[in-house]
Structure 1
């Protein structure tokens, strides 16, 4: 043991270790380790935060959900003018097709909406609008979108006479969502439509104030909308807060038998295609059976010897 001044620690003599004072000085200089390092300026962090927020907004708007503002009264009282709805854009990426009863946003199929007003001549305003619309923070001045309820899908027969009710594949719809005081149909516009595959028939809930499929039957598509023009399904009324609601599918669209017509067509086509094959196979089986029966009949053996021999054998 080594001696020393009173109060000095006593222990084995060895190489000098790091000075604790040096560690404290280093900790003071290293930010994020409990020291007094100078943090990065907020203004230096701000561009990075804004960039991340814009990228996330763009991804959400492109692949997940997008907000849309209701521009008219055609969906009263389900949706009021000025409501903001969130539209699910994710499920169409996985091959989901529009279903009866859904409220969907879709691009103008052509000729449904008037031309958009010209954009601002102010370069700054025009650039700001394009930038914000690109990331989904405001509607685009170039896009023309509508929002309606899906009444029929590909393969359905939708019809209505007089004041209604609307019939889908021969089944009447019970439509409590129709605007109070409206009739399900407009007597001046009766229709019977066979919806082509890959298309939908849409109607507004405010039936007497909605220029929907009924009023565009003379246009290409006969008033129907291509599934490819559908942006997505409106799932929630997000604004104003006192209007918050989930846009569910009414029960009338799941009534028994409403899918009968759509299901019967593929079944009938299957039977029609299978019938010739069944008849051909049956003919082959019958031919094979006849051939087997013919080969199983024994033939008379040749006579050996004369009549005497034959008589002797019989005797």
Structure 2
């Protein structure tokens, strides 16, 4: 086989592999994730207002403390909202210890994801709530502005049904400049019970989509450049 023929074969293989990655990653994203728009600053800095997030479906029994979730609740307006789970059924959630940290079952929790300067601020009013079975206690990462379980303490201690969760947030997809994955937190790992859950294949799907697209473009460009150089050498000969 000539060098030119070998180049064509390699180009074809590169484009085929790139298309497989591009299409496969896109299909995985479409099947496994749902987009939601975030209108408020209640989850800053984890999620910015105006971001479009990707949420992976999750069963109620698989939700863990520390998960960022999208949920609906009739008493909260029955619209998709995004908050962080800090208490599960049976937990006692309270504000606060001597240094201003949230406590869960009497254990202070250091939360590194909170908005700057608000790590010790859960508001001026102390609270204590017991989470009923099958329900969740939810707080925003931007505690100074978030309307969350603290606002609804009068009904079921401010909790929402775990069955109302429609997905676990694993990343932002828009705007493109801030697209990224949202990592699992280890803040609650010292507590017994269900911690933040392992995330799905978002990073793999994004890498396959972007990598596949880049491979197709680079392979096609290399083939075009190679063809031009070959014709130029032929014309000189």
TM range (shorter): 0.5 to 0.7
Say if 2:130 and 2:157, in contact at 8 Å, map to a contact too: no
Is 2:117 the counterpart of 1:149?
no
1:252 maps to which residue? 187
Instruction: Give the equivalent residue in structure 2 for 1:66.
Output: 34
Tell me the distance in 2 between the aligned counterparts of 1:207 and 1:187.
7
- Aligned partner of 2:104 in structure 1 is 168
For the 8 Å contact 2:36–2:55, the answer to whether it is kept is yes
Aligned partner of 2:132 in structure 1 is: 196
Q: Secondary structure of the equivalent of 2:158?
A: coil
Residue 141 of structure 2 corresponds to residue 205 of structure 1: yes
CA gap 1:150/1:184 in 2 versus in 1, 3 angstroms: farther
In structure 2, the residue matched to 1:179 is 115
From the two aligned structures, give the one with the greater strand fraction.
2
TM-fit CA distance, 1:241:
2.0
Do the aligned residues in 1 keep the contact of 2:64 with 2:85 (CA within 8 Å)? yes
- Structure number, greater radius of gyration: 1
How many Å apart are 1:194 and its aligned residue? Answer: 1.4
| Contact 1:104–1:148 (8 Å) recurs in 2 | yes
- 1:169-201: per-residue Cα shift (whole Å, max 9, x none)? 222111111101224443422111111111110
Query: What pairs up with 1:272-283 in 2 under 5 angstroms?
Result: none
Q: Distance in 2 between matches of 1:109 and 1:184?
A: 31
The 3-state SS of whatever aligns with 1:222 is helix
Query: Cα distance 1:201–1:84, how it changes in 2: closer, same or farther (>3 A)?
Result: same
Contact 1:148 1:212 in 2 (8 A): yes
Q: How many residues align?
A: 168
* Alpha-carbon RMSD: 2.6
In structure 1, distance between residues paired with 2:39 and 2:174: 14
Distance 1:82 1:203 in 2: 19
The whole-number CA distance in structure 2 between the counterparts of 1:174 and 1:151 is 12
Matches within 5 A, 1:1-315: 64-89=32-57, 91-92=58-59, 96-110=61-75, 112-113=76-77, 144-161=79-96, 164-219=100-155, 221-255=156-190, 258-259=191-192
Cα distance in 2, alignment partners of residues 153 and 230 from structure 1: 13
Unpaired stretches in structure 1, ≥5 consecutive residues? 1-56, 114-142, 263-315
Give the number of the structure with larger relative contact order, counting CA–CA contacts within 8 Å between residues 6 or more apart: 2
The alignment's TM-score, normalised by the length of structure 2, stands at 0.64
